[in-house]
Amino acid sequence: MVESLHAEDPRAIGGYVLLGRLGAGGMGRVYLARTPGGRALALKTILAERTGDPGFRLRFEREIRNADRVRSPWTVPVVDWSRGDGQQWLATEYVPAPSLEEWVLHAGPLAPEAVTELAAELIAALAAVHAEGLVHRDLKPSNVLLGPQRPQLIDFGIARALDDSPVTHTGGMIGSPGYLAPEQVAGARELSPAADVFALGALLVFAATGHGPFQHTGESPATATLLYRVIHEPPVLTGLPEVLRPLVEPLLAKEPGARPAASALAAGRTAGGGRWVRALPETLREDHRRRAEELPARLNQSGGAAPARPGAQPAVPSASTPRPPAHPPTAAPTAAAAGPPSPPPPTQPHAAVPHTGNPYAPGGPATPPPPVGGGFGAAGTPATPYPPVSPYPVPRRSSRTVPAVVGAVLATALVLVGGWVLLDNRGENTGGTAGDEGEKEAHKEDGANEENGADEKNEEKEQEQDPEALPEQYIGTWEGSAEVPDRSDIDGEVTVTLTLDPGGLDEHVGTLVTNATEVLTGWNLGCTETVKLIEIDDGSIRLEGTSSRNTDQENPFVTGCQTGNVHEITLDEDDPDTVLGTTVYPKSEDPPIPLHRTGD
């Protein structure tokens, strides 16, 4: 939970107001921070003694940019970091959730079902990391957040940057001894993904028993003892439920080559689909709710004036006098320069959040505008690291107004005609002849037979439909638009296109595309999400965004589209060609946005 700032704590770092302490560890201290735009960040400071050699900053920046390549629902994105040679810090999205270490020490081990789902989620997370050619290197209980929708990994990049420093080779080993792989303990300079797999096995033992695999319950062995056990002794699995042993034991093999790869493990397990949420204990869900409810009040509390970042100009220049990138670009466009300048002062409305990755274009705005996308409706009660800027806070007045009026007239006509036929068939129309009556009775009987046949076919069709398949009425392309009143940098409305293809539960079934034009540059700030079907209900479905990118792939300066959003799509009872879209994670308080089926 959030602790009040101490007298020795700074009141602002890098232009971000500090609101409280989130924790501390061997690398530094973590604060809850607020951007000028009012969003929550987790800001970690790195201890000065850890960053003593001159090359640390370059390695730090390199590893952060590498970590930014991993865009998955299980990784917490980096928002900003230090650029100067002074105090080093790293700001990420804030996740209102406890770490695995915090929760187990407070509430005890997780149930086997929850550990099984934790394993499935973290295996998928590591598979995504390793697919980018990266190794986390410091996977441990304090670096896994038990998020409300999925567990999330933190502290990418820091361990590698510190581990390459001469300071660490004379001053100690980076990482938690009980979760280091044997090859790490032995001092291997190049680690393979197998080191992360070993750490995962150790982490799962902790989740299920409350202690690591190389210590006994209630024991606190010395670091040297732990390191010796990691290399020479078998793991202590006393208390590990039998159902978990077939999963955990292979992960803790001493030889890296004997451990299964995360990708192979992921192929036999399914993450997502609401399984994680269902497996969480109610006490943890309540903890999530309490943190989310408390966050707005914390963000509204006053803070000290935010000093400018070292080297930054005292005021944010206007768009007519753009600031050049902080560092010269490198050959790789996706890791070109150090990033945006310091954020605007808190008095400026609609302040943009600095983002990692690409430099902002010379000649463009002084700070990169955040992308638009990731949900139906503006976020209400924050339920995620920070409320994302959404293109859908206010439903657009329907462009189908005229057709709707025409439809009403047609509906009235059908009621009148239908009423006439009904009266006629009841013999109350005196204008017909006996022959007419006989003919009508025959037609009525034929119609009844046809109707019964159609009902039987519909029943057979319903019985044949796979209950885990996306219902046919959702398949197709749906379009709509909305205004974004809290984004003055957006020109006009944001357009939304949802395309759904046939598929089943836990399968990717389409895309959610937003397009939004930035006023000053004309850039498209929209995002494109790949969505997976995670729930089918009576009259509605839920989709999860498993990957996200900027819609304009040719513009390298727009980054930061978020993954992990959960959208609910509901059929309109009055119009089969309309669905209502809303975002349930992060939570939105706005009314659903109508999307209309296109002719495609």
Residues paired with 146 in a beta bridge? 151
Q: Return the number of other C-beta atoms located less than 10 Å from residue 238's C-beta.
A: 11
Q: State the pairing for strand pair 593-597/540-550.
A: unpaired
**Rounded CA separation 79/65 (Å):** 11
Residue with tokens 């080093």: 88
**Rounded CA separation 387/585 (Å):** 10
Q: Is 15 exposed, middle or buried (0-12, 13-18, 19+ CB in 10 A)?
A: buried
φ and ψ of 68, to 5 deg: -65, -15
Do residues 501 and 509 lie in contact, with contact meaning Cβ atoms separated by under 8 Å?
yes
**Rounded CA separation 39/531 (Å):** 26
**Rounded CA separation 235/507 (Å):** 37
Q: Which of 210, 40, 38 is nearest to 111 (CA)?
A: 210
Dihedral sign (CA 273, 278, 279, 282): positive
What is the helix, strand, coil percentage profile of the chain, to 5? Answer: 35, 20, 45
**Rounded CA separation 106/97 (Å):** 13
φ and ψ of 143, to 5 deg: -105, 15
Residue with tokens 């978020």: 562
Q: Return the number of other C-beta atoms located less than 10 Å from residue 334's C-beta.
A: 12
Dihedral sign (CA 438, 440, 441, 445): positive
Cis peptide before 586, with omega less than 30 degrees from 0?
yes
Q: Return the number of other C-beta atoms located less than 10 Å from residue 166's C-beta.
A: 11
Q: Is 44 annotated as a binding residue?
A: yes
Buried b / exposed e over 387-419, threshold 16 CB at 10 Å, is bbbbbbbbbbeeeeeeeeeeeeeeeeeeeeeee
Q: How far apart are the first and last CA of the chain?
A: 50
Give, as one character, the DSSP assignment of residue 18. E
Q: Which of 49, 32, 48, 293 is nearest to 170 (CA)?
A: 49
Q: What is the Cα Rg of the chain in Å?
A: 29
Catalytic (active-site) positions: 138
**Rounded CA separation 261/267 (Å):** 10
> What's the residue count for the chain?
600
Binding-site positions for ATP read: 44
